């Protein structure tokens, strides 16, 4: 069975950016914010009519957050909150960081894209910081509702990581990779972890959960004031 190659393909080079955009989903209109099924990162905590329909518009700011607060968040470097390759490597795989970026999809936070030595497994780690825990939870709810369109053949299931943790396993929409996605919040931080591998060779549940718990600990240690 052929295996996906991440370092040598456009998919691998662009994966971190695509995943970063998807984690910045806006919460649904029924929750009082804009709907963003394409995962373009348009987030609004105002009425649905104030939300942007295009990817280039700036998200509306909640009344409880000043523009100075947002500018300070965007200026901060949150890469120290991300997992490191040694957290992901074990006796079966050794991972290295292909890319590490700040402010995924124009939102405060950080993202990293890791690939193993055989170039057939990839892990993406994305953290987005919202103005408060309520906004993060609403955004997670919207992202959870969209998961079955992004991971085919899977059903979102609760997982005991962070607040409102959810995990789904299946294949990519193109059917060319096994995919597991796990999302959770910790205070005002929303985390999305993506695990990709060959079809029929999906990442084990235990490994996924262990990685998520390590990311939770990193957040609790590095960003204690997340409320």
What does each C-alpha distance from 135 to 63, 93, 130, 140 come to in angstroms? 12, 36, 6, 9
> What tokens appear for 74 in the block?
């965007």
Rg, C-alpha atoms of the chain: 17
Write the pLDDT tens digit of every residue in 135-175. 999 999 999 999 999 999 999 999 999 999 999 999 999 99
pTM over 0.85: no
Residues 6+ apart with CB under 8 A from 88: 95, 114, 123, 211
pLDDT, residue 74, reads 86
Q: Which domains can be identified in the chain, with CATH numbers?
A: 10-222 (3.40.1000)
Phi-psi region of 214 (alpha: psi -120 to 50; beta: other; left: phi over 0): alpha
> In 3D, which of 207, 183, 210 has the Cα closest to residue 194?
183
pLDDT, residue 91, reads 79
Q: Which residue has the higher pLDDT, 90 or 141?
A: 141
Write the pLDDT tens digit of every residue in 170-225. 999 999 999 999 999 999 999 999 999 999 999 999 999 999 999 999 999 998 66
CA quadruple 131, 18, 102, 90: dihedral positive or negative?
A: positive
In the chain, pLDDT over 90 holds for what percent of residues? 57
What is the distance between the alpha carbons of residues 128 and 15, in angstroms, rounded to a whole number? 16
């Amino acid at each position: 069975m052929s295996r996906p190659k991440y370092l040598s393909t456009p998919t691998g080079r662009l994966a971190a950016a695509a995943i970063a955009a998807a984690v910045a989903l806006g919460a649904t209109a029924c929750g009082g914010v804009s709907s963003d099924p394409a995962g373009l990162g348009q987030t609004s905590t105002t009425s649905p009519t104030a939300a942007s329909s295009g990817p280039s518009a700036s998200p509306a700011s909640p009344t409880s957050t000043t523009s100075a607060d947002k500018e300070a968040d965007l200026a901060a470097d949150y890469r120290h909150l991300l997992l490191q390759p040694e957290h992901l490597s074990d006796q079966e795989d050794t991972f290295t960081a292909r890319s590490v970026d700040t402010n995924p999809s124009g939102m405060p936070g950080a993202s990293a894209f890791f690939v193993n030595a055989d170039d057939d497994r990839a892990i993406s780690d994305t953290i987005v910081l919202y103005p408060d825990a309520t906004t993060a939870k609403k955004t997670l709810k919207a992202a959870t509702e969209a998961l079955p369109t992004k991971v085919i053949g899977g059903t979102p299931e609760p997982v005991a990581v962070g607040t409102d943790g959810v995990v789904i396993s299946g294949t990519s929409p193109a059917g060319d990779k096994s995919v597991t996605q796990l999302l959770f919040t910790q205070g005002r931080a929303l985390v999305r972890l993506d695990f990709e591998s060959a079809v029929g060779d999906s990442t084990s549940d235990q490994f996924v959960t262990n990685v998520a718990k390590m990311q939770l600990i990193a957040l609790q240690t590095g960003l204690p004031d997340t409320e």
